[in-house]
Amino acid sequence: MAEIAGCRRTLEISVPVQEVESETGRVTADVQKRAKLPGFRPGKATPSLIRRHFAGEIRQRVLENLIPKYLQQQVEAENLKMVGRPDISEVHFHDGEPLTFKAEFEIIPDIELGEYEGVEVPYQDPEVTGEDIDKRLEALRDQKAQYVNLDPRPIQDGDYAVVALESLSGVEGEPIKQDEMVLEIGGADTLPAFTENLRGASPEEEKEFEIAYPEDYGSERLAGKTIRFRATVKGIRKKELPEVNDEFAQDLGDYRNVEELREAIRKSLFAERQREAQEEARNQIVDKLLETHQFPVPDVFVERQLQNRLEQLLHAMNAEGMDLRNTKLDMDKFRETQHDKALREVKASMLLNRIAEREHIAPTRDEVDRQVEQIARQQHEPVAAVRLRFEKDGTLGRIASHIQTEKTLAFLFEHARKTA
């Protein structure tokens, strides 16, 4: 019989005495074959003697054989989808009596689907203006810019200062040290404090100053910190931009003239913005579906997602150059701030899986193969080797799951009611 509480289930299971005695006999016979007792050749000691001398081992093996078997039988009989490891308690195992035990575990709940087609969501295809194309062209010019060295003189706004930078204090872990860093003096992407301290300095000049980084600074290692730096000016450069003409267009790719380049930029911008707009619409669809579908979530799934989020955070911190050995995370605070996000992600995944099941949405072999081939090309490895590794470590399954999710989201977006 199963007791119900959210996703937790409790089963009280009884194994018939005949099955217990039969299994005990099989285990005893197996132990007898290799048992070494004084006065007996291997395999010749009597079963009663074997049971007396190896009672603990026999008991453990019988339980290990029978409990999973009968638990699985009961789980299948009640059509439950067990997840995680079950907690086994109240084990009653005595000669001449049935084996009884209690098993507690979590299950994947049955999600009763309501309406999921025709969800109303604001959406319209994006526009690309001539001004948008001009801005992208300017960005391309900037990428092709030449930086020309200037004769020594005091740095002024608009210059590109080449500096060697070294942190003196305020940084956790390894100091910051860059032999050549280029800063646009007075530029929008340059912190004002760098501009103020370097303006007027000349090549070979060395300066020490503090930089107070804002709390929302892009690097977690520097955000909210005040760092003292030593900067040595190594040179001054100016930026020279190429002229936008047919030669410039041809240099960028298979374009005959500027008009073809502008059209390619228009299409690219449209695709980017359409992707972003559709992603936002899909997220809104999922949010609305989660509001209309209430169901319990296994704690084990939320714990796994919290672990995934923790690993992503540690990976990002490591990429920022932070010394993880000297970094202490407040795990209670992390769980508190991340729990609701992890729960939402798990609920969304479960709901999308249920819709995919209803609509028979699944990844094809070709779709998975294309993903594996793309990763293999990026990693410069043979496709067969990458596939074998992915099969072993579970990555192949995650790729298939991601494809299914994307196809399900595309289905929901296609069948949504878009409003302007």
Domain locations in the chain as residue ranges: 2-107, 146-240, 258-419
Tokens of 125: 């295809």
Q: Which residue has the higher pLDDT, 61 or 172?
A: 61
Q: pLDDT-derived band of residue 415, with 50, 70 and 90 as boundaries? A: very high
The model's confidence at residue 331, banded by pLDDT at 50, 70 and 90, is: confident
Tens digits of per-residue pLDDT, 92-126?
999 899 999 999 999 999 999 999 999 999 999 99
Structure confidence at residue 4 (pLDDT):
44
Residue 320, helix vs strand vs coil: coil
Residue with tokens 């996703």: 7
Kind plus residue range of the DSSP H or E element containing 149: strand 146-149
| ∠ Cα 251 254 259 (to 5°) | 85
Residue 326: how many other CB atoms lie within 10 Å: 9
User: What residues have CB less than 8 Å from 220, skipping those under 6 apart?
Assistant: 316, 317, 320, 322
For residue 366, pLDDT over 60 is answered with yes
Tokens describing residue 57 = 């081992």
In angstroms, rounded to a whole number, what is the distance separating the alpha carbons of residues 155 and 201?
5
Rounded CA separation 68/63 (Å): 8
Tell me the mean pLDDT in the region 188-200: 94
Cβ proximity of 99 and 23 under 8 Å: no
Q: What is the pLDDT of residue 360?
A: 97
Quote the CA–CA distance of 396 and 406 in Å, as a whole number.
Answer: 16
Query: Which SS3 state, helix, strand or coil, does residue 304 take?
Result: helix
Kindly state the average pLDDT of the residues 374-382: 94
Residue 46 above 90 pLDDT?
A: no
Q: What is the pLDDT of residue 51?
A: 79
Contact of 236 with 159, CB cutoff 8 Å: yes
9 with 105: CB under 8 angstroms?
yes
Per-residue model confidence (pLDDT) at position 397: 94
> At residue 20, does pLDDT exceed 80?
yes
Residues whose CB falls within 8 Å of the CB of residue 188, separated by 6 or more in sequence, listed in order: none
Fold held by 258-419: Trigger factor, domain 2 (1.10.3120)
pLDDT at 41: 63
Task: Check if CATH label 3.40.50.460 holds for domain 2-107.
Answer: no
pLDDT score of 38:
67
- The per-residue pLDDT for 329 is 76
Q: Indicate the pLDDT class of residue 363, thresholds 50, 70 and 90.
A: very high
Q: Which of 191, 194, 195 is nearest to 158 (CA)?
A: 195
Q: What is the pLDDT of residues 119-174, one digit of tens each?
A: 999 999 999 999 999 999 999 999 999 999 999 999 999 999 999 999 999 888 78
CATH number for the domain running over 146-240: 3.10.50.40
* For residues 193-199, average pLDDT: 95
Tell how far CA 374 is from the center of its chain. 19
Give CA–CA dist 80/107, Å, rounded: 6
In whole angstroms, give the CA distance from residue 26 to residue 43: 14
Contacts of 92 (CB under 8 A, 6+ apart): 98, 99, 100, 101
pLDDT at 34: 77
Its pTM surpasses 0.75? no
More confident of the two residues 346 and 328: 346
Q: Dump pLDDT digits (tens) for 221-244.
A: 888 999 999 999 999 999 999 999
Mean pLDDT in residue range 186-193: 93
pLDDT value at position 1? 40
Half-sphere exposure of 80 (CA within 13 A, CB side): 24
Q: Name the DSSP letter for residue 281.
A: H
pLDDT of residue 3: 42
